[in-house]
Amino acid sequence: MGTENHDRKPDNKRDGNRGTDILDELWTIGAWRRPWLRAAQVHLEDAGPAAYDDAELDIFARLAAVSGLPKLANLPLELPRRHIPSQLYAVDVNRCFGLTFFYLTGKIYGLHVHRTAHDTAMETYERLVTRVKENMVWAFLPVSPNDRVIAIWACQGEHGVTIMARMELAGDVAIGRACGRSSKTICLSRGNQMTFVYGEPFESEPVKIVGACSGKTQPIDDADRLLQPAFPMQTTIATRFPDTYVSSAPLRDVRSVRVFYAKDTCRGMLLWYKNGGVRALGECRLFVDESWAVAHPAAVCYRPLQYRAYKHVHHDGVIVYVARTARHSHEEDGWKCHDIGQGVLHFHYTTNRSYTISYEPNSL
C-alpha cells in the first residue's frame, strides 16, 4: 500500500472536486478526533478562526466538509490544545502503596505511583527537567494495605492546587500548600473503588488535568451530605516563605514512627497507627534519604536548628528524636517533647529546603 504525504498544504480546487484520496480523509478525521502521539500536531488558538491564516482555514473547511458539519463555527475543537496533555493516566489508588506528588510554586509537575512497598519515586524524579526538579518538593500520600481512599477533593486557589484524600482509617490527608480563604473546593469523586486521573504534562510545564472517578455512582443527595474536609489554612509560618507546604498528623494511637534525614535535618516522618492507617509528615523520600524507625513510641521530640542546605546558605531545619519512654531527657536546650496520645503535629516545608514543626494541642 502506498504512503500518503500528510504534510502537504491542501489544494482548494482539488478539495472542492472531492478528489482527495479516501485514506487521506480518514487520516484527517482520525487526527481530529483522537490525539495520537504520532499524528501531526495541529494547535488550536483560543481566538478561533480569526487567528488562523488562509492555509489553516482551508484545513478547517475540509474537516468541516468531511465531518458533514454545515458551519465551520460549529466544528468541535477536539484536537489537543497547545497546553493540554496528549495522554491521560488512571491510577487505582487502592491497589498501590502510595503516590508521590512533585510540587513547585503550588503546582503539580509530576506524579509517581508506588506499585510496591519498596518502590522509589527517583525514576520519575529523574525524568523531570533539571532546572525545574531541583527546587521541587516531594509530597507523599501513603496508602497502607488495610486502608483505602473513599473520597478525593481539590482545593483550587491563585497559588496552585491542594489535593485532599479521605482515608477510611487514616482520616483526611492534605497534599500541597495551605489553602487561602478565597480558594474553591470541589469534590472530585467518592466511593469504594477510587481512580485518580491526571494528564501527562509537557516538558517543564505543570500537570493541567487532575480528576477522579469511582466505580459506583453516588446519588446527588448523598454527595451533598458528604462532610467537607478541613483544608489546612495559611499560618504565620506559611507567610514567612512564599512556597510553603504543610502536612499534619495526630499523635493519638501511634504504633510506630519512621524518620527521614538528609543533610543533618529531618525532612519527614511516617506515622503508623494501631488501626492500620499511615500518614506522612513533610518530605518522605522512600529509599532515597536515610531513615530509622521506632516501634511503640512514647513521645516525639524536636528541636529547631540552622543547617547548610546549599554551599553558602543556611536555612531552617529541625532535629527529631522519638523517645521510647515518657520520662527522658536531652543534653541540649530547646527541645520540645509531646507525648503520644494527644495533639497534632504540623510539618512545614518549602522549596528552598526549610523545615519546621509546630504542635497543636487539639486533636484532628
The residue with greater pLDDT, 223 or 268, is: 268
Residues 262 and 341 in one domain: yes
Q: Do 130 and 66 fall into the same domain?
A: no
Report CA-CA distances (Å) from 354 to 2, 10, 244, 265. Answer: 61, 57, 9, 9
**b (16+ CB within 10 A) / e for 11-47:** eeeebeeeebeeebbebbeebbeebeeebeeeebeee
Where is pLDDT greater, at 3 or 151?
Answer: 151
- Whether residue 20 is contained in a domain is answered as yes
Asked if 299 and 274 sit in the same domain, the reply is: yes
**What is the residue range of 119's domain?**
83-231
Higher pLDDT, residue 204 or 240: 204
Mean confidence (pLDDT) of the chain: 77
Q: Tell me how crowded residue 136 is: count the other CB atoms within 10 A of its CB.
A: 19
CB 331: neighbour CB atoms within 10 A? 5
User: Is the predicted pLDDT of residue 90 greater than 50, yes or no?
Assistant: yes
Q: What is the average pLDDT across 10-14?
A: 39
Q: Which of 13-22, 132-141, 160-169, 187-196 has the lowest mean pLDDT?
A: 13-22
Kindly state whether residues 220 and 116 are assigned to the same domain. Answer: yes
3-state secondary structure 49-115: HHHCCHHHHHHHHHHHHHHCCCCHHHCCCCCCCCCCCCCEEEEEHHHCCEEEEEEECCEEEEEEECC
For residues 107 and 220, state if they share a domain.
yes
Given this model, what pLDDT does residue 328 score?
Answer: 94
- What is the end-to-end Cα distance of the chain in Å, rounded? 67
Joined together, the cell numbers standing for residue 72 give 465551520
> Do residues 259 and 320 make contact, with C-beta atoms less than 8 angstroms apart?
yes
Is residue 161 within 8 A of residue 108, CB to CB? The reply is yes
The last residue of a domain, from among 193, 208, 231: 231
Give yes or no for a contact between 310 and 317, defined as CB atoms under 8 angstroms apart. no
Task: Work out the percent of the chain whose per-residue pLDDT is above 90.
Answer: 46
pLDDT digits (tens, 9 = 90+) for 223-242: 445 666 665 555 555 446 66
pLDDT band at 322 (very low <50, low <70, confident <90, very high): very high
**Domain-embedded: residue 193:** yes
Least reliable range by pLDDT among 67-71, 213-217, 335-339: 67-71
CB 88 within 8 Å of CB 197: yes
**Range in 27-41, 285-299, 303-317, 324-338 the model is least confident about:** 27-41
Q: Which of 215, 231, 247 is the last residue of a domain?
A: 231
State the average pLDDT over residues 54-73.
51
Do the domain assignments include residue 6?
Answer: no
- Is the pLDDT at 62 greater than 70? The verdict is no
pTM above 0.85, yes or no: no
Q: How confident is the model at residue 66 (pLDDT cuts 50, 70, 90)?
A: low
Low-confidence winner among 11-15, 96-100, 212-216 (lowest mean pLDDT): 11-15
pLDDT at 138: 97
Residue 283 banded pLDDT, cuts 50, 70, 90: very high
Q: Please tell me the predicted confidence (pLDDT) of residue 267.
A: 97
Pair 242, 226 in one domain: no
53 & 144 share domain: no
Considering the domain boundaries, does residue 284 fall inside one? yes
Tell me, yes or no, whether 5 lies in a domain. no
The count of domains in the chain is: 3
Nearest-angstrom CA–CA distance, 181 and 188: 20
**C-alpha pair distances (Å), 241 with each of 236, 246, 349:** 9, 12, 9
Domain membership of residue 7 (yes or no) is no
**How far, in Å, are 135, 137, 204, 283 from residue 351 at the CA level?**
5, 6, 16, 11
Same domain membership, residue 110 and residue 57: no
The CATH number assigned to the domain holding 159 equals: 2.100.10
Q: Is the same domain home to 23 and 58? A: yes
Q: Which tens digits make up the pLDDT trace of 99-138?
A: 999 999 999 999 999 999 999 999 999 888 777 788 899 9
**Same domain, yes or no: 359 and 245:** yes
Q: What percent of the chain has pLDDT over 70?
A: 66
Residue 263: which pLDDT band, with cuts at 50, 70 and 90? confident
Residue where a domain stops, chosen among 231, 259, 292: 231
* 207-222: average pLDDT: 70
Within-domain flag for 127: yes
Is 90 exceeded by the pLDDT of residue 78?
A: no
Residue 41 lies in a domain: yes
Same domain? For 160 and 223 the reply is: yes
121 and 223 part of one domain: yes
207 or 202, greater pLDDT: 207
Q: What pLDDT, on a 0 to 100 scale, did the predictor assign at position 200?
A: 78
